[in-house]
Structure 1
Amino acid sequence: MFTSWFEANKIWPQARTLTYGQFVSKFVYVKKKRQWKPRKRGYTIGRLIWVPPSTGELYYLRMMLTVIKGPTCYDELRKIGETQYFTYRDACFAMGFLEDDRVYINAIKESKDWGSGHFLRKLFVIILLANTMSRPRHVWDECKEWLSD
């Protein structure tokens, strides 16, 4: 069903103006033929299933499905402007869906003046477990000298 959406975007020009969630309001899926056809009558509201952030790339793929219109392959879901990104996460970051991790870097930087190495590492672990950092590796690279004794 999902890859048939890519095929429909290749065939139908009006399909290229819709996101995945909007698509079902204008098209209907024919199971026997495994393809999408323009909806002749009626109306329906499409919805995307909830995906938890802990699923990683699947979560970022779902985020891209809410804004990218008319892709014909998976690669187009990761393309923003003229730039092709390697992961959906990077594409989401480029779209501005994910926050810059400066807040976390600044928190650790402030704490380094009065906190011990043990405390700073504990703080870093708590931030990691909260699963709110966009780029944990970047935060580590920026703060590793303060986190190691």
Structure 2
Amino acid sequence: MNIQDPDARNLLYAEFPLYYTWNKSKKVWKRRKRGGCIRRIYMVHPNENFDDLKTVDGVVCTTFKESAQQRGFLKNDDHHCQCLNKAREFQMPNQIRNLFATLLIFEDLTDLRQLWNENFSAMAKNFALRGIPERQHQIQAVLRHINQFLQRHSKTVTDYNLPELMPEHNSEELPMTLIEELSYQIDPEELAKADILNEAQCAVFAEVMGLISRNEKV
């Protein structure tokens, strides 16, 4: 056809039946006299229903996404969980919060809420120990710390599936300055080092601590 009809050279294979018909007896293509053609639509009737798609190893998943994750079609958060689990063993709460925020920014997390729920206690531990007993206040304190980290990368906690960060002027929430002060965690091992200072070091240490306690500049 490309030799006989120059117009045929401009058509793709799928477009050819729109402009030409096949003559079975002569076994040649003929240009259509009228436009349009009837196309065949193939239909497949499965012998399974949607619940079968959500069933993995005999267990019916809640959602299709969960089913796809169980089958290994989607990425999961196993390595992210392992990373945070290891951090909980050795790192301070503020370091865990920073790590969590880093994962938010640079990783594609599959189930963010599950990671939040599993690691919240570790991220809020120092707040709980330093005068913020209410869980809602702890949540706000953790969110604000994470939000400060995210803002350095032009993001906020509202960009993610996390609990709502309440406005800072809300009277029910603790002031940010107080939360920042309460977030500091003193390492007992560091304090114990004061007992092994020599005489000169002890004098300097006592002078500095005295100035701090009197709120004077060093």
Decide: shared fold, TM above 0.5.
no
Shorter-chain TM-score bucket reads: 0.3 to 0.5
**What is the TM-score when the length of structure 2 is the normalising length?**
0.31
Larger RCO of the pair (alpha carbons < 8 Å, separation 6+): 1
Q: Which protein has the larger Cα radius of gyration, Structure 1 or Structure 2?
A: 2
